[in-house]
Amino acid sequence: MSIRKPSSALVLRSLLVPFLCVLATQADAQSTWTAGWATRGMVVSDCGLASEAGVSILESGGNAADAAAATAFALAVTFPAAGNIGGGGFALVHKADGGDAALDFREVAPNAAHRDLYLDEQGKVVNGLSTDTHLAAGIPGSVDGLLRLHEDHGSGLVDRAQVLAPAIRLARDGFPLSFWAAYVLNAYRGKLETDEAARRIFLRGDGQLWQPGDVLKQPDLADALERISQQGRDGFYKGVTAELWVEEMERGNGIATLEDLAGYDSKYRDPVRGEFRGYEILSMSPPSSGGILVLQLLEIMDGFPLEEWEWNSSSYVHAFAEACRRVYADRAEHLGDPDHWEVPVPGLLDPEYLEARMADMSLERATPSTAVSSGTPTPREPDETTHFSVVDKEGNVVSCTTTLNARFGSGIVVDGTGILLNNEMDDFSAKPGVPNLYGLVGNEANAIAAGKRMLSSMSPTIVLHDGHPRLVLGSPGGSRIITSVAQVILNHLVFEMPIAQAVAVPRVHAQWLPDRVYYEPFGMALDTRKRLEELGHELAEMEEIGRVNAIEVQPNGFYAGPDVRGGGASAGY
């Protein structure tokens, strides 16, 4: 029997009535319980088992950072499509005492990488080189970043072995596949069977499709996690795992070396900050474009009569698409790794600059993207994925997004480790104007260079009110991350939707190029779509736009916003 995913429109519709509590209905079948509301701690992730791993750490005295590290390591096992130790990510931390940190554990280009890495002798981009091969992998940052998150921001009451224990157990003993996990493995069977090591792990031995409840065991991954548990970062970036990684590279004409791995270092950045209707928005700074673009979109949208227009009206979608056109054009020109490119952060966020960017927008017609180029913010000063959100009883919160880029990364497993290679190098601009997996184009700011971090759209975000967390959120989805996060914030803060509804309702997306407005099924009525077409927008349906996992913090407790577009599941206590 094959497993079909139900249309997300059906799932969404079925969930629009009981907004709160018992919402994670499409969560993992094996999950013993889910929480729509909790008072002492909560984790919302793409997998119930990973959320529970985080909550078990909270229950044993750990704080949000300890729980976030445990959740991420568990996701590397239970959600191999995006959870990882072979990729990278960003974590945004807000401490109950008021301190904030933005931890960048994005992958970096190997030292032998160069700007023409993916071009043939004629200077044309070679199809698939930056996505499906050993050359597609950046040097992974997840292990360094997650260990640093635990060491620098953890409670001190939970040691490294405790943080890694749930992941090791899930990998060694195996875990029953949820409906969604089985669906994703089956859907990507074609990709996974092309690599021998991936085929052995991620395809059923008898050649049949996975069924919910089948147990997936990953003993090599358990050993790799065990080495991290015992030796810390050296258990990954040096020794057996590093040697197997480099052997894998040599087998597949990759370029990463032992020196590349040993030299990886996660970094602290200043989070980007903005204000929106009395709330402080804290988000990820370059090398993510996400935080800046989310703040730009909110600032621009605040200039329109949103309540009068109403949610997802033609005027609302028109203004949102026009704003997207302009901010994504800026992304292509101005955003890149801040250690290699001067990103004009204050200029891009300057309200006067944004007002000027929108000055040529008409309420009566769409601006063709060919008529939009990047602006000149002044001055240039000191730019498949999974998101989870964590809160603890003290009021510490972590918003964390990690990625392998495409689902299952390159689809190649480092033989003997169970670790999937990321294909994050595709997030660089292989050649000016040539779109990547997400249709994003870029220029010099995001050109490939040795040791450089590729530009991201990941937008782990925290919304504060009077210094206290109100929302913790983020999303996977490449370029769609930014528009998903911005819309959930607008849904909640402007249209006053409870978080579960703010996450569940259909979303739209636009990004300069391609010159098109995407909408989810049931996202817009026919007359709204007709009006947008009259304004000059080209429309296209897209099954899923982002997969936001959020938490709303209220005085009486934490409310879950797991995304029903995937396996979003909350756990709390």
Q: Which of 130, 456, 483, 484 binds ligand GLY (CB under 6 A)?
A: 456
| 76 counts as binding ligand GLY under rule CB under 6 A | no
CA 287/CA 126 separation, integer angstroms = 25
- The two tokens of residue 386 are 């999974």
Between 41 and 460, CB nearer to ligand GLY = 460
| 475 counts as binding ligand GLY under rule CB under 6 A | no
Between 106 and 529, CB nearer to ligand GLY = 106
CA 60/CA 52 separation, integer angstroms = 12
Q: Which of 397, 458, 517, 539 binds ligand GLY (CB under 6 A)?
A: 458
Residues sharing a CB contact under 8 Å with residue 51, sequence separation 6 or more, in sequence order: 31, 34, 43, 44, 45, 71, 388, 569, 570, 571
Q: Are 263 and 238 in contact (CB under 8 A)?
A: no
Nearest to 357 by CA among 341, 375, 340, 373: 375
Tell me how far the alpha carbon of residue 13 is from its chain's centroid: 24
Site mask, ligand GLY, residues 295-334, x = CB under 6 A?
----------------------------------------
Q: Which of 30, 283, 405, 549 binds ligand GLY (CB under 6 A)?
A: 405
| 403 counts as binding ligand GLY under rule CB under 6 A | yes
Question: Cα 163–552–545 angle (5° rounding)?
Answer: 90
| 84 counts as binding ligand GLY under rule CB under 6 A | no
* Residue 385 bears catalytic tag: yes
What are the helix (H) ranges across 373-525?
A: 480-493, 499-504
| 478 counts as binding ligand GLY under rule CB under 6 A | yes
The alpha carbon dihedral of 206, 211, 215, 219 has a sign of: positive
Q: Which of 457, 501, 511, 549 binds ligand GLY (CB under 6 A)?
A: 457
Exactly one of 78, 385, 402, 417 is catalytic; name it. 385
Give, as one character, the DSSP assignment of residue 426. G
Site mask, ligand GLY, residues 416-445, x = CB under 6 A?
--------x--x------------------
For the CB of residue 282, give the shortest distance to ligand GLY in the complex, in Å.
19
For the CB of residue 164, give the shortest distance to ligand GLY in the complex, in Å.
25
Q: Which residues in 373-392 contact ligand GLY (CB under 6 A)? A: 385
Q: Which residues of 433-465 are buried (b: 16+ CB within 10 A; e: fewer)?
A: eeebebebbbbebbbbbebbbbbbbbbbbbbbe
How many residues sit close enough to ligand GLY to count as binding (CB under 6 A)?
9
Residues sharing a CB contact under 8 Å with residue 31, sequence separation 6 or more, in sequence order: 24, 48, 49, 51, 52, 178, 569, 571
Q: Are 20 and 37 in contact (CB under 8 A)?
A: yes
Residues sharing a CB contact under 8 Å with residue 127, sequence separation 6 or more, in sequence order: none
For the CB of residue 512, give the shortest distance to ligand GLY in the complex, in Å.
15
| 142 counts as binding ligand GLY under rule CB under 6 A | no
In the chain, the amino acid numbered 41 is: G
Between 160 and 407, CB nearer to ligand GLY = 407
For the CB of residue 481, give the shortest distance to ligand GLY in the complex, in Å.
6
Between 30 and 487, CB nearer to ligand GLY = 487
| 46 counts as binding ligand GLY under rule CB under 6 A | no
Between 178 and 403, CB nearer to ligand GLY = 403
CA 297/CA 397 separation, integer angstroms = 24
For the CB of residue 309, give the shortest distance to ligand GLY in the complex, in Å.
30
Among the listed ranges 11-19, 143-151, 455-463, 496-504, the one in contact with ligand GLY (CB under 6 A) is 455-463
For residue 471, the cross-strand partners are 463, 552
For the CB of residue 419, give the shortest distance to ligand GLY in the complex, in Å.
17
- The two tokens of residue 13 are 């519709």
Give the SS3 label for residue 429: strand
Among the listed ranges 29-37, 267-275, 452-460, 527-535, the one in contact with ligand GLY (CB under 6 A) is 452-460
Between 417 and 446, CB nearer to ligand GLY = 446
Catalytic positions: 385
Which residues contribute to the site for ligand GLY (CB under 6 A)?
385, 403, 405, 424, 427, 456-458, 478
